[in-house]
Amino acid sequence: MAERTDGRIVAAVESFLEHVRHARGLSDQTVRAYANDLDQFVAFAAARGSTGLQDLGLELLRDWLWEADQRGLARSTIARRSSSVRAFTRWASETGVLATDPGVRLRAPKGAAHLPRVVSSDQVRTVLDQLAVRADTDDAGALRDLAVVELLYAAAIRVSELVGIDVVDLDRSRLTVRVLGKGGKERVVPFGVPARDALEAWLERGRPLLGGRTTPPEPSALFLGDRGARLGVRSAYRIVARALEGLPGGGPSGPHTFRHTAATHLLDGGADLRAVQELLGHASLGTTQVYTHVSSARLREVYRTAHPRA
């Protein structure tokens, strides 16, 4: 049965966004990316007098990507735009909004390969040692920051997963934590004894102090912000950025640095790729394989500096 729209591109886009928001269980970040890209496509089409579904063809889609290329947008941005509009036209075809799928032949340049920032084991140890010195003062914020970074590195979880953890999700006896990943998929991931010790110190000596700053107190969240409410993503970014400040090497300084680093260190230590995939919660093994490239790059660097005939 065909999806009901009023024949306008903008109405079809709105129906598609409702579908991905409520029926497919995609993350808010993914839905926002679709909405941003398709809003720009609708504006581009309207500026050229193409507002009806009868105007939605391969030539219009190609013109949109070509215009983005002429403006100097990054290849990764153009590739993402292509993916968004192809998802829309595929849905429109499958639901009968369009008779055929004009996006099936759309091609966009592949995004440039991006290797995530990884810090060394010694650098991780330095960061954690510095945080531990601050936590020894029993400052509530310092106890929290140490527990946050320890868990990010130990469990290799996403920042969105970290801030969504409740106290009941933590099993300190089994050294596991339950997290809610992309698409609402739940998984249980392990962590080590240092992370457990930091979490226990936070729960026993830090959280009660911050938890009393809201009325009523926050009853469930594992991590709290400075005002006593659940720790937010931006606050987690600031915690990690401060912890990584001053370390040599470029690249992003957000929470994903520790996720990338943990995955790479696991592979460097001989972990099976599929085991790392399960730990990270990746739907595709191909997503996890980027870390093999990071490990290979490090191996080549060691080879060039250490082998007498490199």
Report the Cα 77 to chain-centroid distance in Å. Answer: 16
| Residues 55 and 45: beta-carbon distance below 8 Å | yes
Active site residue 291: yes
Among 19, 62, 182, 205, the one annotated catalytic: 182
Active site residue 230: no
Active site residue 90: no
Q: Which residues contact 50 (CB under 8 A, 6 or more apart)?
A: 9, 56, 60
Distance between CA atoms of residues 82 and 87, nearest Å: 9
Among 86, 207, 259, 265, the one annotated catalytic: 259
Among 158, 196, 207, 265, the one annotated catalytic: 158
Active site residue 259: yes
Active site residue 234: no
Among 81, 117, 260, 282, the one annotated catalytic: 282
Catalytic positions, written as ranges = 158, 182, 256, 259, 282, 291
